[in-house]
Amino acid sequence: MSCNLVGPLPHFLGNMSSLTVLQLSGNGLSGGIPPSFNGLNLQILWLNNPTSGGLSGPIDVLTTMVQLNSVWLHGNQFSGVIPNSIGNLTSLKDLNLNQNQFVGLVPDGLANLALDSLTLNNNHLMGPIPKFKARNASFDSNAFCQSTPGVPCSAEVMALIEFLCGLNYPSTLVSKWSGNDPCRSWLGVSCGNDGKVSVINLPKYNLNGTLSHSVAKLESLVQIRLQNNNLWGSVPENWTSLKSLTELDLSGNNISPPLPKFSSIVKVAVDGNRLFNGNPSAAGAAPQDSPSSSTDSGSHVNGTSQLNQHKALKRSSTVSIVAPVASVAVIAFLLVIPLSMYCKKRRDAFKNSTSHVIHPRDASDSDSMVKVVVASNTNGSASTVTGSSTSRNSSGIGESHVIEAGNLIISVQVLRNVTNNFAPENELGRGGFGVVYKGELDDGTKIAVKRMEAGVISNKALDEFQAEIAVLSKVRHRHLVSLLGYSVEGNERILVYEYMPQGALSRHLFRWKTFELEPLSWKRRLNIALDVARGMDYLHNLAHKSFIHRDLKSSNILLGDDFKAKVSDFGLVKLAPDGERSVVTRLAGTFGYLAPEYAVTGKITTKADVFSFGVVLMELLTGMMALDEDRPEESQYLAAWFWHIKSNKEKLMAAIDPTLDRNEETFESIAIIAELAGHCTAREPSQRPDMSHAVNVLSPLVEKWKPIDDENEEYSGIDYSLPLNQMVKGWQDAEGKDSSYLNLEDSKGSIPARPTGFAESFTSADGR
C-alpha cells in the first residue's frame, strides 16, 4: 500500500511466478505495466493512484493474467481502447478503471463479464452504453451518446466514431465529441439545414491514422477538409458514393495511390502527399497502370503494398525525369564559367567592406529570397544596401557570432549602432528577461531590441537557446508580435521584435489618464479581444506545433497605430512535446492571471492560457487590474470576485468600466463577454473552452459592431494553408512596408508581491 514509492514498476516483478497479490495503491508510480507481467499468476492487482499523474499506457498485458480476481487501476493515466480480450478474464469479479484516459467503444468482452463490480467513470468512452452483465456497473462522466444502457446511437454518430477509430481516437476530438447530436458543438463538424452532417473541417489537428469507410455513411457531406495532418493509407473507394460532395482536401498528408475517381464536381486536393509525388493533377482518377488499381482501395493498405506502390512510382518517375535532367545539366555547365567569374568579383568587392548582414528567415523559396547588408560607415552608423551574405565585426576584429532565426539575422554591432550602444535614452522598458531598447535603421524601420540580462540566461546552453528560438521564429500571424531575429556574440543574447507604437493594452485600460489617452470604446475592446483570441488560437492549434504562452496579460498585448492587437513575448513560451498539449515546468507568469492548477502543480496546458485570456476579458469589461492590493480584500483578485457578480445584472453593470456607454445594446454583448470570461476561468481545465471557441463567440459580436468602411477586413487575406514562406509574403504584403513594432514599456513591475506560500525562487516573469 502507500509507501511513497516513485518511478516505474520494476520488470523483475514479472519473474515472480508465485506472486499472487500486488497491492501498490497510493504511491507515485509512473510509466506503464511492464511486458514482463505477461502471463503472471496474479489474483489481486491494485495500482490505484490518489494523486495526479500516475501510470500510463495501454492495459493489454492484463488480459494475459487469467487468474485475476480484483483489479484497481483508478486515478491513473491509462489510455487507449479497452481490449476486447479482457473478456478472457473469467475469474475477474472487481474491476475499477475510474478516472483514466480510456477511449473508444466499450468492448463486448467487457460487457459480457459477470462481474460483481465494474467502475468506468471519468474516462472518454464513446458510443452506446451496453447492457452490462456486471451486478453493479457505474459509467458516469464519459462521452456516451445515450444515457440509458442498450439504446443505440444515431447512424451519423456511429459513422463519426468509426472515423475517430481510424485516427486512433485523438484526444483533441474525443473530448469534444459527445452525445447523440453531432450538429451540437462537435469540434470540426458542421451541419446543414436538414440537421445532417455537411462538413468535416479538421486541418492541422495532428490527426494520425487512416481514412475510414464509415465516412461514406454521412450522405449529406459537402466538404471534407483534412489537410496538413499525418493521414496515411488510401482513400476508401466508397467515398465516391457521396453525391453531395464538392470538396475533398487531403493535401499535406501521407496518402498513397490509387485515388478513386470522383465526380467532376468534386474539387480534390492531394498535393503535398509524398506518394503522389506532390502532383495535384493526380487527383480525380486512379492511375490506370497502378499495380494496385484492381484491388479494393477501401481496405486498409498494409505496409508491404504501400512500399510496392512507392517503388513503382519511383520507377515510373525515373524515366520521365532523365531527359529533363540531362538538358538542365548541359545548360548549367554553360553557365558555370560566367557565373563563377561574377561571384568572384562580388566576393572580392565584399571583402573590402565591413558589413553586417540581415537575412530573411525563410529562404526555401528562391523567388522570395532577399538579402540586405547593413554596412558600417566611418561614423559608425548603419545603412542598408543590397549585397551578399557575410557578417563581420565593424571593428575588423574577428567575425560576429550571427545565427539564423527569425525574419532577420542581425549582428550585435549593428544593434549597438542603431540603439546608440544601448543608450538609456533609447530604453523603452524593463521586463523579466531584460531591457528593451528602441532602434531605428537608416531606412526608417523601427525595431525593439531586447537585451537579455546575463543572470536570466546564464544557465541556458547556447545550443538550447538557438534551438528554441529557431523553432519559435517560424510562428507568423498578424496578431502575434513578430520575433524578427536575434544575435549572439560572447555573453550577449539579444532578441529583435516588432515595435508597436501604441504600447500595451494595460496603458489604455489602467493609465489612460496618466498618458492623456482617450479611453477605449466598447467596439475597440471587442476588436482587441478578438485579435488576441485569434492570435492565441493560432499558437495553440494552427501553428506547426502547439505553443503554450504562459504569461498572457494586458501588458503583453500590444497595439499598433490602428489599435490592432498583437500578443507579445510569445517567443519565450514553452513548446509542448510532439503530440502533446501539456508540459511540466517551473512556475512562470504573473499573479492574478495564473490558472489555479498551474500555480499549484506546475503542470501547464493550453487551458492555462485560456484562463489568462478570461482574466483579460474581465479587465476589458471592468477597467480593473487582475490583481490590485489597494482594492477591498474581496475584490483584490479580479477573477475570483468577478465570478461572484457576473450572473447578477445589477452587480455586473455596476462593475463595468464607467468610461463605457452602458445602453441595452451594449449590455447584450457585455453579458455575452462576461459569460465567456466566466467560462474561460472555470476552476477545472476540462471545463474551459478552447481558444477557437472564444473566436467563434467574439466574431459575430465584432461583425455587428464593424463600421461600413471595414468591408475589406484583412483577416480574409491570408491563407494559412499555404507554405510558410508564401504565407509570410502574403502577410507582409497585407501589412504593408510600415509594420508596427513592439513597445514593452508597460512590462516593468509586472510581477506583484509574492503571495504567502509561494517559493522564494519565484522572482521573475519566468522561473527558468
State the binding site for ATP.
450
Q: Strands, DSSP E only, in 256-340? A: 267-269
Q: What share of the chain is helix, strand, coil (3-state, %, to 5)?
A: 35, 20, 50
Which amino acid makes up residue 640?
A
What is the H or E stretch that residue 677 is in?
A: helix 664-680
**Distance, CA of 720 to CA of 179 (rounded, Å):** 32
Classify residue 57 by burial, with Cβ atoms within 10 Å: 0-12, 13-18, 19+.
middle
The tally of CA atoms less than 13 A away on the side-chain side of residue 451 is 22
SS3 424: helix
Instruction: Determine how many CB atoms are found less than 10 A away from the CB of residue 184.
Output: 10
Please give the Cα distance from 597 to 400 (Å, whole number).
Answer: 44
CA dihedral 526, 693, 624, 450 (to 10 degrees): -90
Residue 415 to residues 58, 393, 418, 463, 474, Cα–Cα distance (Å): 53, 12, 5, 22, 22
Amino acid (one-letter) located at 46: W
Q: How far is CA 761 from CA 739, 754, 756, in A?
A: 38, 10, 13
Element (H, E) at 447: strand 446-452
Q: Identify which of 288, 743, 398 has the alpha carbon closest to the alpha carbon of residue 557.
A: 743
Residue with cell 489510455: 79
- Choose, from 551, 569, 657, 746, the residue flagged as catalytic: 551
Q: Is 551 one of the catalytic residues?
A: yes
Rounded Cα gap, residues 695 and 681, in angstroms:
16
Q: What separation in angstroms does the CA of 457 have from each of 460, 493, 635?
A: 5, 8, 36
The terminus-to-terminus CA distance of the chain in angstroms comes to 36
Give residues with Cβ within 8 angstroms of 647, minimum separation 6.
678
Cα 118 to Cα 496: distance, rounded to the nearest angstrom: 58
Q: Which residues are annotated as a binding site?
A: 450
For strands 603-605 and 582-584, give the pairing: antiparallel
Other CB atoms within 10 Å distance of the CB of residue 98: 20
Cell 478474464: give the residue: 89
DSSP 200: E
Pairing mode of beta strands 28-30, 56-57: unpaired
In angstroms, the CA 410 to CA 376 distance is 13
Which amino acids are annotated catalytic?
Answer: 551
